[in-house]
Structure 1
Amino acid sequence: MQLTKIQIKTVEKKTDLTAVSQDNAAIDKLQNAFGNHTYFMNEDGLFIFMRAKKSDTTAHLLAFAMWDEDDDNKLLQLAEPMNAGIALDLENTQIQDNREAARTIH
């Protein structure tokens, strides 16, 4: 899913994520491989926000590629997207950070 400029700024301000610019050389390859999304990166990997259902007003941050431990210029695709513990309220543009709770459960 594509986020609005306001939503992107909120995510960047409230998290350690940085949006991949639409003019980035890799954006066409990402969109061809994974679809039309606003992509985010941090020191852990590559992420997108997705809703569980179209009618949901909350989108969850999913990790779908992580940096290779031996080559930090190489991303390794995960077999299944992993919930990163961050949710974005799409109506109010609010971030819900549940990373700590997710760590204590696993």
Structure 2
Amino acid sequence: MKLNAVQVKQTLTQMDAQVVPDDHPAVNQLVELYGDHTYFLDQGGLKVLEETGSDTPAGEVVSLADWTDSTCISLRAHKPTPTGVVIVLDQMKH
């Protein structure tokens, strides 16, 4: 799910992560692999939000890749895995 600026701010108040900027060299490859999302990096690795489909605007955090070691320099992709963490959003993008 691609988030607008308000949604990114809301997400970052509920999740300790950094946004991967749209102009980052890896974003084009990420979009080819996983689709048009706002990508986040946290202590566990690479994450995105997927719509929950509930009446409340929200996105579930889905893990796409884990750090290969404690230096947090290299990622190892894996099957997209829901984390069970839900981010509540006040405003959905249409």
Cα distance change, pair 14–59 in 1 and its aligned pair in 2 (3 A): closer
Q: Count residues with an aligned counterpart.
A: 91
Alignment gaps of 5+ in structure 1: 94-106
Aligned to 1:98: none
Specify which structure has the bigger relative contact order, considering alpha-carbon pairs within 8 angstroms and separated by 6 or more residues: 2
Counterpart in 2 of 1:42? 42
2:88: which partner in 1? 89
User: Which has the larger share of helix?
Assistant: 1
Structure 1 stretches of 4+ with a deviation exceeding 6 A read none
Cα separation, 1, equivalents of 2:31 and 2:54: 20
Normalised by the size of structure 1, how large is the TM-score? 0.72
Is contact 2:46–2:64 with CA below 8 Å preserved after alignment?
yes
Does the aligned pair in 1 maintain the 2:56–2:88 contact within 8 Å? no
CA shift digits 1:42-67 (9 cap, x unpaired): 12100000024497732100111001
Length-normalised TM-score, structure 2: 0.80
Gaps of 5+ in 2: none
Alignment of 1:1-106 (within 5 A): 1-53=1-53, 57-69=57-69, 72-78=72-78, 80-90=79-89, 92=90
Rounded to whole Å, the distance in 2 between the matches of 1:28 and 1:20 is 11
Amino acid at match of 1:15: M
Quote the RMSD (CA, aligned, Å).
2.3
State the distance in 1 between where 2:68 and 2:15 align: 22
Structure 1 residues 71 and 2, CA, compared in 2 at 3 Å: closer, same or farther? same
